[in-house]
């Protein structure tokens, strides 16, 4: 069994200074690394003070400079909010800076609050379809010279710049709860991040 740490800048009181929360988060990451944990994961959220995490790549690069051994994971990138070319490049740059320690977690997103603000009119179904288009596009961009004609994105032949340090690419994780998402992850050579299950053994 491998144990990991998952964290954001959780702000439960308006009296909590944000710089202090960040320092505490970094201290926890250093403790996790020294304590032998396998990985540290941090996510993406917008406009919510309870989970302050607008760009996990920024956090992971800082964590990398303060740690030696832990894997560094996005838990998760919200697929509808990013273009495939941008995600491929930013993830690859993070992998280079962290010396090949990146694990890339991708999800459709969990909160309608964020959809309403960043992608007005989008629902969870469309968000899931965007994730299903994004993942293979990012993998293809890492291979290079890839032209994309999809439902949500279209672009001419493009190669990710830079290329990731890990070859053929960093491990990709898909956040999944329903069976269709599990099936998609497996068919696309991805690992599965299981979100919390609350309905008992039948759901599992």
pLDDT tens, residue by residue, 77-110: 999 999 999 999 999 999 999 999 999 999 999 8
4-194 CATH: 3.20.20.30
According to DSSP, the β-strands at 172-176 and 102-107 are: parallel
Task: Read off φ and ψ for residue 173, nearest 5 degrees.
Answer: -120, 135
Q: Sorting pLDDT into bands at 50, 70 and 90, what band is 194?
A: confident
- Report the Cα–Cα distance between both ends of the chain, in Å, rounded: 19
Q: Does the predicted TM-score (pTM) go above 0.85? A: yes
Angle of helix 84-97 relative to helix 124-143, nearest 10 degrees, comes to 60
pLDDT tens, residue by residue, 133-164: 999 999 999 999 999 999 999 999 999 999 99
Q: What does the mean pLDDT of the chain come to?
A: 94
How far is Cα 161 from Cα 142, in angstroms, rounded to an integer?
A: 8
Does 177 score more than 90 pLDDT? Answer: no
């Amino acid at each position: 069994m491998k144990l990991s740490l998952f964290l954001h800048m959780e702000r439960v009181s308006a009296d909590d200074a944000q710089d202090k929360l960040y320092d505490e988060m970094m201290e926890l990451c250093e403790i996790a690394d020294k304590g032998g944990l396998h990985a540290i994961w941090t996510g993406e959220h917008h406009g919510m003070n309870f989970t302050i995490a607008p760009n996990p790549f920024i956090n992971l690069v800082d964590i990398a400079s303060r740690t030696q051994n832990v894997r560094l994971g996005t838990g998760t990138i919200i697929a509808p909010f990013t273009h495939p070319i941008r995600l491929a490049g930013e993830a690859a740059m993070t992998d280079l800076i962290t010396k090949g320690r990146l694990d890339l977690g991708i999800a459709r997103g969990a909160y309608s609050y964020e959809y309403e603000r960043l992608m007005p009119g989008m629902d969870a179904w469309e968000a899931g379809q965007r994730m299903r288009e994004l993942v293979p596009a990012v993998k293809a961009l890492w291979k290079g010279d890839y032209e994309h004609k999809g439902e949500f994105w279209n672009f001419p032949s493009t190669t990710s710049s830079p290329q990731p340090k890990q070859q053929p690419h960093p491990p990709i994780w898909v956040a999944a709860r329903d069976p269709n998402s599990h099936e998609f992850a497996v068919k696309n050579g991805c690992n599965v991040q299981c979100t919390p299950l609350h309905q008992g053994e039948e759901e599992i």
